[in-house]
Amino acid sequence: MREFYEFDEERYQKKGNVWMFIAIALVFTLLGGILMYAVFPYLTNPDDKLADNTGSIRAESDETTNSDASPLPVVGYQGDLFIEGENPVVQIAEKVGPAVVGITTTVEVLVPDFFFNQRTQEYEGTGSGIVISDKGHIVTNYHVVEGAKKLFVILQGGEKIEAELIGADPQSDVAVIKVDRTDLTVAKLGNSDEVRQGEFAVAIGNPLGHELAGTVNFGVISAVDRTLQLDGKTLKLLQTDAAINEGNSGGALVNMKGEVIGMNTIKLVGSRVEGLGFAIPSNVFIPIAQELIKKGKVEVPEQPWIGVVNPLEITEEISKEYNYPVGILVREVYPESPADISGILPGDVITAFEGVETPTMAILKENIGKHKVGDIVEVTIYRASNKKEFTLKLKLADMSKIDIQR
């Protein structure tokens, strides 16, 4: 009997412990529910609950931010910051996109026919531009409008307007054109000196022509101070991995506040290259654009030129196939140009300029650009008719004075 009694007492004590544990758990559950009810709104939407305590401080901060004007007030959107929300790229596309326009150019060049007779032929080029004033001024790259006989601007939606060239600075690759409109969306211009490596960036432009107008690409600022050579010019550029393609030149590189911090200019291409795009910083192109607008006329400096039209690069593959040296094939010589006067003929191959080999047009242009109009230079020529290489001297002329461009 005792053993049975002791067994029942032990069982009773265990049962009491269980009920005590359940009671304690219920008390803690009730307290936790009350606490979550009080704190949960702060966790889900802290801004709403903190507005009463910090609203005045935040308003003062917004006022300070909105007072930041464009570093150069003559051009650029002058209103408040207008990008906010969880996904700024959507608003950038909607609000900044209309300030990026397409540009169409018509260029006349001399081309040879089958018998090397010269004829004029028109070519159409495309690029992008950024609206920078409410007077219709648009900034773009000089290489977009170089040699253009006609200029047209394509607005968002497809409207086509004739434009005029206001000014150009080939050395910095900046040009300003203008349309007779005062109702265009004007871009807000940012301070590129404040751009930091790793920041998000959006590229807007017309890659591969107007069929893909207004394309928006997202990336980061890969570097803030890159130095590159372009046609013999040294440029300081922003680097980005946001996709930039042919036709994007002159388009906008935008930060997450909707400010234009750069003008898309160059993309490196090659089998081993990906995501290497470059833009002229806003603090570089804005003062140049303002100066061009102020002058109100086209300022094109002298451009040394030898007079070779529509040349063709002879690569190593072509060289092996046709038994020609690597160099620049002369397909046409402009009448009374330095090349014509010195005796260079269609069919000749330029193999060196001032003793420097010229396997590509970029290298030839770069070396010509190191000289001034009127300089006497030496050009090494290979002539297929007698299979001989020789050197000619010629006096560089000013290509800017030639009506029909190369």
pLDDT tens readout for residues 103-116 = 988 876 555 554 44
Instruction: Judge whether residue 48 has pLDDT over 50.
Output: no
pLDDT, average across residues 89-118: 74
Q: Does residue 252 contact residue 205 with C-beta atoms inside 8 Å? A: yes
- Neighbour tally for 72: CB within 10 Å: 16
List of residues 6+ apart from 31 with CB closer than 8 A: none
Confidence of residue 4 (pLDDT cuts 50, 70, 90): very low
Residue 356 has a pLDDT of 93
Q: Which of 222, 249, 282, 337 is catalytic?
A: 249
Q: Which of 133, 143, 169, 282 is catalytic?
A: 143
Instruction: Judge whether residue 380 has pLDDT over 80.
Output: yes
Judged by DSSP in three states, 160 sits in strand
Residue 387 has a pLDDT of 86
Per-state percent for the chain, helix, strand, coil, to nearest 5: 30, 35, 35
Express each pLDDT in 292-316 by its tens digit. 988 765 555 677 889 887 788 898 8
pTM passes above 0.95: no
Of the listed ranges 2-16, 137-151, 229-243, the one predicted with least confidence = 2-16
Confidence of residue 354 (pLDDT cuts 50, 70, 90): very high
* Better-predicted residue by pLDDT, 215 or 34: 215
Residue 289 has a pLDDT of 92
Q: C-alpha 366: how far from its chain's center?
A: 22
173 in catalytic set:
yes
List of residues 6+ apart from 268 with CB closer than 8 A: 276, 277, 278
pLDDT, average across residues 34-56: 47
pLDDT, average across residues 275-303: 80
pLDDT, average across residues 189-199: 90
User: Which pair of tokens denotes residue 263?
Assistant: 């003008």
What is the share, in percent, of the chain residues with pLDDT greater than 70?
Answer: 65
Q: Which of 133, 173, 192, 222 is catalytic?
A: 173
Q: Does residue 398 contact residue 302 with C-beta atoms inside 8 Å? A: yes
Residue 307 to residue 118: CA distance in whole angstroms: 14
| DSSP alpha helix (H) spans, 114-273 | 142-145
Q: C-alpha 165: how far from its chain's center?
A: 20
Residue 362 to residue 172: CA distance in whole angstroms: 17
Residue 91 has a pLDDT of 83
Q: Where are the beta strands (DSSP E) in 179-258?
A: 188-189, 200-205, 215-230, 233-240, 252-254
What is the share, in percent, of the chain residues with pLDDT greater than 90?
Answer: 26
Residue 243 has a pLDDT of 72
pLDDT, average across residues 371-383: 93
67 in catalytic set:
no
* Better-predicted residue by pLDDT, 45 or 53: 45
* Better-predicted residue by pLDDT, 263 or 402: 263
Residue 263, amino acid: M
Residue 275 has a pLDDT of 57
Of the listed ranges 74-88, 136-150, 157-171, 379-393, the one predicted with least confidence = 74-88
